[in-house]
Amino acid sequence: MKSIDWLRLVFLSLLWGGSYIWIELALVSTSPVSIVFIRISVAAICLIIFCVITKIKLNLNKDLIIIFFIMGLLNNVIPFNLIAWGQTQTTASVSSILNATTPLFTVIVANYWPNGEKATIARISGVLLGIIGVTVLIGFNMSDMSNSVLGQSAILVAAISYAFSALVGKKLRSINPILAAAGMLTASSIFFLPIVLMIENPFLIEINQQTIIPLLGLSILSTAIAYIIFYKLIASIGSNVMLVTLLMPISAILMAIIFLNEKLQYQHIFGLILVLIGLLLVDGRILKIFKSS
């Protein structure tokens, strides 16, 4: 990975880490499904307008449309809803830590994916250590399926969905990142609209400063701009883009402490340390440093 890739990863971690704060603030007055629909639809509209203004054109075909809908399902509809609902049961900090398991699941999925990257001993060790970290983070009493555990489990399923999306997203490498993001978010909006209307009407939410600021921050900063960077990274580093979740908990936790006055328990800190060590093993750089020294 080049220096510019690492800089983009850091910036993306700030944008996506901030999404947990925006969601936490939006949940005060808005339901999870409405938050998700507004997030993806407003982001899609912003990117479409940008493409029209800058005259970026896309030659659509059947295969590309199918990929857009698959990516929209795996990268938006499923994980966004699970995370938004999960955050009604747990905090932004814990949610970001749980989402840091995405690269661990990516290692497992990539090992069995056609032409995927085979798992090494270091990567497998990292996955196992990460799973132990998640177990510590959630708590050892798994027989007590409280709302908190269910919420945290939902965010873990979202991480698995992100793992699949990172591998499917490689098919969009040759497309302009802005078009890739716009296509995926538009497909997500079309797919999710009839579903959300069966649950509630997101167009009837009360518009005030308490709702509009977090929703716009979530839609424009943490979605539209973030996905442009995401697809740029996929084009240059492939599924390694999910290493961004190594940095997201740090930015999310710092912002949650500053803006939401959240406090972490010792088990969350210990679980985070285990997950981060697991991610370092998956990444492999730390082992190369020790071998060269």
Q: Where are the domains of the chain?
A: 3-102+146-263
What was the pLDDT predicted at 132? 84
Average pLDDT over residues 257-275: 79
Cα distance between residue 65 and residue 126, in whole Å? 36
Residue % of the chain over a pLDDT of 90: 35
- pLDDT of residue 220 exceeding 90, the answer is yes
- pLDDT of residue 142 exceeding 50, the answer is no
Residue 278 neighbours by CB under 8 Å, 6+ apart: 104, 125, 126, 127, 128, 129, 130, 131, 132, 133
- pLDDT of residue 118 exceeding 80, the answer is no
The pTM assigned to this predicted structure is: 0.80
Confidence of residue 192 (pLDDT cuts 50, 70, 90): very high
Q: Which two tokens stand for residue 207?
A: 């518009």
- pLDDT of residue 289 exceeding 60, the answer is no
- pLDDT of residue 144 exceeding 60, the answer is no
- pLDDT of residue 154 exceeding 80, the answer is yes
pLDDT tens, position by position, 97-107: 788 788 788 88
